[in-house]
Structure 1
Amino acid sequence: MREVVGLFGRAGCPWWIAGGHAVELAAGRAWRPHDDIDVLLLRDDQHVVQEVLAGWEWWAADPPGSLRPWRAGEYLRPGVHDVWCRPAPGGSWRIQVMLDEGRDGQWVSRRDDGVRLPVAEIGAVSPDGIPYLRPEVQLYYKAKEPRPKDEQDFDAVLPLLDPGRRAWLADAITRTLGPHPWPGRLR
């Protein structure tokens, strides 16, 4: 993770560690292995990826999930939310960059335009200076089709969420996904 922090620390725009690592940073401890490190950027800042990962391979995940090389300078349109990055051809994917929408200082969910927060409120910083996506925002994305590791993340961070964050997450999940088991556990 230190490598990713060093690379994106030069970004000059907001960025956050996302995924399971973000939930673990919020909890202050790790509980499971990870295959890569997820980083969240706002779509308008997407070209930072090509700058901070110069010399790496960048592959865009076109819906419904086919990978293709991301050309230098190409703007990834809404609908393309993931960029897989590796330092060398044929190597392991090391960083998954997720692109989210931002409008007028607001983070806007790519799944539901009505789910929003001020950009300044979607992240936090760990005691050792690592910016990460707040767990309620990460869990909102994990709620769509929760895998066992997502359930594990939910269970681990649930006691850390204050009533306001629990209510926000429950409302966001219900608004976007309808009936779901997590809102009942959040209330």
Structure 2
Amino acid sequence: MRTDISNWKPLTVSEINKLFSVIPIHWCIAGGWALDLHLHKQTREHSDIDVIITREEQLIAYQYLMRDWMLYRAEDGKLSLWEDGEYLNSTNDVWVSKSDDSPWAFQLMIIDTEENSWTYKRDKSIRRPMAEIILKTVEGIPYLRPEIQLLYKAGGSKVREKDINDFQTMLPTLLPQEKAWLKSSLTRQFPEGHDWDKFL
């Protein structure tokens, strides 16, 4: 089990794209990098890099990645080795490094799907067709749609300062339909209201 959670030397976006473009799965870049890819510029420093894969395709991803990487499942605040052939039923987060003492290179965020639709883990009634949740840069790099990424940032138990800053950076660029979807999704998760409602 590893405890060096701050030991990061993340891959670049282009390195992630090169690594995952040969794996026959649905994938895309998420987190702050997804928002920056949408804006076509880097707006802040990123301490890590997140890659989304689907739960149903996790073992395909594992078989490709395990050749050169070590994968650790993150659950209940602990990092333990993801064993060959082990199907992760509830784990949503996997940390990846070259060896058992090298820096973390990227995180896998495992999403759930149902009938070709993504489902939001915090409220399964919030969903979008898989074909809609991924956008691509002009170079063909896939990334998570901004309004969905912002929902993940807004929907956590604690909204971090960088999440608020990311929202403020993205807000002027969001299309009316993107704002409307984010607002309706936040209302569904937080019927009592959310701090971001007044901006949408």
TM-score band w.r.t. shorter chain: over 0.9
- Match in the other structure for 2:45: 33
Map 1:145-160; keep pairs closer than 5 Å. 145-160=158-173
> TM-score, normalised to structure 1's length?
0.94
Structure 1 CA distance, aligned partners of 2:103 and 2:47?
9
Spell out, residue by residue over 1:149-183, the C-alpha distance to the aligned partner (whole angstroms, 9 max, x if none).
Answer: 11111111111211111111011112113421112
Residue 165 of structure 1 is aligned with which of 162, 167, 178? 178
Structure 2 CA distance, aligned partners of 1:96 and 1:23?
16
**Local SS of the residue matching 1:30:** coil
Map 1:1-187; keep pairs closer than 5 Å. 1-53=13-65, 54-62=67-75, 64-78=76-90, 80-143=91-154, 144=156, 145-178=158-191, 179-186=193-200
May I ask how many residue pairs the two structures share in their alignment? 184
Letter in 2 for 1:175: R
Q: Note the C-alpha offset of 1:48.
A: 3.0
**Local SS of the residue matching 1:114:** strand
Structure 1 stretch displaced more, 144-153 or 125-134: 144-153
Q: Note the C-alpha offset of 1:99.
A: 0.5
> TM-score, normalised to structure 2's length?
0.88
Structure 2 CA distance, aligned partners of 1:109 and 1:170?
15
Do 2:147 and 2:178's aligned partners in 1 also have CA atoms closer than 8 Å? yes
Letter in 1 for 2:93: D
- Decide whether aligned partners of structure 1 residues 73 and 60 sit closer, same or farther in structure 2, where only a CA change above 3 A counts: same
Letter in 1 for 2:144: L
**Local SS of the residue matching 1:132:** strand
Structure 1 CA distance, aligned partners of 2:30 and 2:173?
17
Do 1:7 and 1:52's aligned partners in 2 also have CA atoms closer than 8 Å? no
Structure 2 CA distance, aligned partners of 1:41 and 1:163?
28
Letter in 2 for 1:37: I
Which structure 1 residue ranges, 4+ long, deviate > 2 Å from structure 2? none
Spell out, residue by residue over 1:112-161, the C-alpha distance to the aligned partner (whole angstroms, 9 max, x if none).
Answer: 11000000000100111110000111110000222111111111111121
Do 1:18 and 1:133's aligned partners in 2 also have CA atoms closer than 8 Å? yes
- CA RMSD in angstroms comes to 1.1
Q: Note the C-alpha offset of 1:10.
A: 1.1
Q: Note the C-alpha offset of 1:59.
A: 0.4
Q: Note the C-alpha offset of 1:14.
A: 1.2
% same residue: 39
Do 1:8 and 1:52's aligned partners in 2 also have CA atoms closer than 8 Å? no
